[in-house]
Amino acid sequence: MKSLMRNDKPSIYKLTSEEHGVRVDKYVSEHCPDLSRTRAQKLINDGYVRVNGDVARAGFKLDIGDTIIVEIPPAEPVLLQPEEIPLTIIYEDEELLVVDKPAGLTVHPAPGHSSHTLVNALLSHFSGLPDSGENRPGIVHRLDKDTSGVMVVAKNVTAQENLMDQFKARTVIKRYQVLVKGHLSPKEGVIEAPVGRDPRHRQQMAVVPESRGREATTEYTVIRYIGGFTLLEVRPLSGRTHQIRVHLKAIGFPVAGDNVYGVKAAPLNRQFVHASVLGFILPSTGEYREFTSPLPEDLRQALEAIEALP
Query: What amino acid positions are annotated as catalytic residues?
Result: 144
Cβ atoms of 213 and 34 within 8 Å: the answer is: no
Q: What are phi and psi of 274, to 5 degrees?
A: -135, 125
Helix axes 24-31, 37-45, angle to 10 degrees: 120
| DSSP state letters, the chain | -PPP-TTPPPEEEE--GGGTT-BHHHHHHHHSTT--HHHHHHHHHTT-EEETTEEP-TTPBP-TT-EEEE-PPPPPP-----------EEEE-SSEEEEEEPTT-BSS-BTTB-SSBHHHHHHHH-S-----SSS-TTB-S---TT-EEEEEEESSHHHHHHHHHHHHTT-SEEEEEEEEES--SSSEEEEE--EEE-SSSTTSEEE--GGGSB--EEEEEEEEEETTEEEEEEEESS--TTHHHHHHHHTT-PBBT-TTTSB--TT-SS--EEEEEEEEE-TTT--EEEEE-PPPHHHHHHHHHHHH--
Residue 189's DSSP bridge partners are 220
Q: What are phi and psi of 23, to 5 degrees?
A: -65, 145
Residues 6 or more apart whose CB falls under 8 angstroms from that of 303 comprise 179, 226, 231, 295
